[in-house]
Amino acid sequence: MVCPFSCQKDKVNHKHSDMIGDWYHHTGIGLYYSISIFKNGRGYIYEKNANNDGLDTQGRVWLIKDDKLIFSRFKREQFSIDSYPSVATTIMIDNFDTIQVGRTYMILDGHYFIKNE
């Protein structure tokens, strides 16, 4: 049997409920990339770039497989999970992001995403 794109993947809210929430990564001054994962497993991606353009996706289901967070079949909407959600025990600085002690973060594609709490 040939399975459609999502049949061999798990909904992120079933496998890693700690990923539910709004996450952001600053890419410059006033520029950022954010992902939202809702309790029902759906969510979206938003990006504010230097041209003041915003990439806003339609709501879809977030999937997870083999340490990949998957929003669609397009590479730009798939993330390698380098570190699952953790709580910072020291202050960490990653380019335009500063993660304070006690804040929740995860690392996707080598970039720190901070949970909006």
Name the residue ranges covered by the structural domains of the chain: 10-115
**Other beta carbons within 10 Å of 92:** 15
One-letter amino acid of 115: K
**Contact partners, residue 33, CB within 8 Å, separation at least 6:** 24, 25, 27, 45, 46, 47, 48, 111
What pLDDT is recorded for position 89? 96
What pLDDT is recorded for position 4? 44
Would you give per-residue pLDDT tens digits along the chain (117 residues)? 344 444 567 888 888 999 999 999 998 888 888 999 999 999 988 887 767 666 666 788 899 999 999 987 766 689 999 999 999 999 998 888 889 999 999 999 999 999 998
Q: Name the CATH topology of 10-115.
A: Lipocalin (2.40.128)
Rounded to whole angstroms, how far apart are CA atoms 109 and 33? 13
What pLDDT is recorded for position 76? 67
Angle at 115 between CA 74 and CA 38, to 5 degrees: 60
